[in-house]
A and B are shown apart, each in its own frame.
Chain A
Amino acid sequence: AQSVAQPEDQVNVAEGNPLTVKCTYSVSGNPYLFWYVQYPNRGLQFLLKYITGDNLVKGSYGFEAEFNKSQTSFHLKKPSALVSDSALYFCAVRRGSGGYNKLIFGAGTRLAVHP
């Protein structure tokens, strides 16, 4: 069975500091991994994905994520946080084959960036 864990309900960061939002996954076969962000009363916005290749993936708005196969992790990072980054972040996994477009989401991590 596929699953995603986001161990932190909330992450607090001061503006200008680096941020990390953690994600670990469990899936049979090769994983396809995604990060989405959700602002209040909005849908999900795509940030980045890992399919294959380089373990460091760069995405929108200065975000990046590092895929670590041995630790089954896909942590989201940003070198310098902005107050406008405050939102709900979701990690998601899809099985590499046969899973079509069924995404399994983590519970979400609320990021609060303080001025």
Chain B
Amino acid sequence: KAGVTQTPRYLIKTRGQQVTLSCSPISGHRSVSWYQQTPGQGLQFLFEYFSETQRNKGNFPGRFSGRQFSNSRSEMNVSTLELGDSALYLCASSPSLAGGFADTQYFGPGTRLTVL
């Protein structure tokens, strides 16, 4: 099976702009989660989508949003970009069968966002 794919791999934006990142999960996986990785804050959970519904959310401002499509692909959007949004954004997918408590999350290569 193909792994989790994320596009684009690299992005450069300026403050105030908005950006959309895309994630395609492993075939058959129904849950998609997003994480932000920065040198200062480490890996932080943004949100999780399952069956097109957000079922878990981290502690990020409303500028960060996401959605999931019927084919389980997911996008996340960041509006009004700030310098501090520069980070590696990681997407992870999991099967999420029977509640998914024992699931393993498989990560994509990430999108490196630089805000100038």
Chain A residues close to B by CB (< 8 Å): 32, 34, 36, 41-46, 49, 51, 90, 92, 96-97, 99-108
Looking at chain B's contact residues, the main secondary structure is: strand
Size class of the B contact interface (CB-based, 8 Å): 20 to 34
Q: Is B64's CB within 8 Å of the partner chain A?
A: no
Chain B, Cβ-Cβ closest to A106 = B42
What residues on B are CB-neighbors of A104 within 8 Å? 45
User: A45 and B43: CB pair below 8 A?
Assistant: no
Question: Is the Cβ of B42 less than 8 Å from the Cβ of A96?
Answer: no
Give the tally of cross-chain contacts (CB within 8 A): 66
The listed residue (A34, A43, A46, A100) touching B109 by CB distance below 8 A is: A43
**Across-interface contacts of B90 in A (CB, < 8 A):** 43-44
A92 to chain B, nearest CB (A): 8
CA of A104 to CA of B92 in the docked complex: distance in angstroms?
14
Q: Which of B13-21, B72-80, B99-107 contacts A (4 or more CB under 8 A)?
A: B99-107
Contacting pair B107 A45 (CB below 8 A):
yes
Determine the residue in chain B with the shortest Cβ distance to A34: B104
Q: Chain B residues with Cβ under 8 A from A108's Cβ? A: 42-43
Given A46-B106, A102-B45, 7 further pairs, Cβ under 8 A? A44-B92, A46-B107, A96-B101, A99-B56, A101-B96, A101-B100, A106-B42
Selected A-B contacts with CB under 8 Å, 19 pairs: A41-B109, A43-B108, A45-B107, A46-B104, A46-B105, A99-B101, A100-B31, A100-B50, A100-B56, A101-B31, A101-B48, A101-B56, A101-B96, A101-B103, A102-B45, A103-B43, A103-B105, A105-B42, A105-B44
Scoring B58, B101, B107 by chain A CB atoms within 10 A of each residue's CB, the highest score goes to: B101
Is B55 among interface residues, defined by CB-CB distance under 8 A?
Answer: yes
With A43-B110, A90-B43, A107-B42 in contact, is A101–B105 under 8 Å at CB?
yes
